[in-house]
Amino acid sequence: MIKNFPASLDKLHEMIQFVKEQTESAGFDSSIVSKIELATEEALVNIISYGYPDRIGTIEILCSPPEKLGIKIVIKDHGIPYNPLTDAKKYIVGNPLQSRTIGGYGVFFILKIMDEVNYKREDNYNVLTLVKYRS
């Protein structure tokens, strides 16, 4: 199912609700649904906050089953070209707290929560694909 939304924080709840409904329909239990919501929210907030700095654009969300049981969430926007995976911070256990920077860990969490995360720039769109399989 595909749905388009204005890229606005005012519409974030509607976007997350859409993904939640699709994820529940895919048969995930509530704890996994919550994690998928968190990963999706992080991606959407980044697009809303940084993809359209001087205007409100649109975000298209496509939820479909992947090749295996689960859910594939494709998030498309025509904002500033940006691959969030390029700057994903690696959390290194044992690094002193003072050496860690604030921020930038959202993509790290997305990568930890989802089974597959891919980005491509296609026809002037940022296309972020998040996949979670049912075990």
Cα distance between residue 119 and residue 21, in whole Å? 24
Q: What is the count of structural domains for the chain? A: 1
- Residue 47 belongs to a domain with what CATH number? 3.30.565.10
The domain in which residue 71 lies consists of: 2-133
- Tell me the angle at which helices 30-46 and 106-113 cross, rounded to the nearest 10 degrees: 150
Please report, rounded to a whole number, the percentage of residues in the chain having pLDDT higher than 70. Answer: 86
For 70-110, write each residue's pLDDT tens digit. Answer: 999 999 999 999 998 886 655 544 455 554 444 567 788 89
- Tell me the angle at which helices 12-25 and 30-46 cross, rounded to the nearest 10 degrees: 140
pTM for the model: 0.88
Which of the listed ranges 1-5, 66-70, 86-90 does the model predict with the highest average pLDDT? 1-5
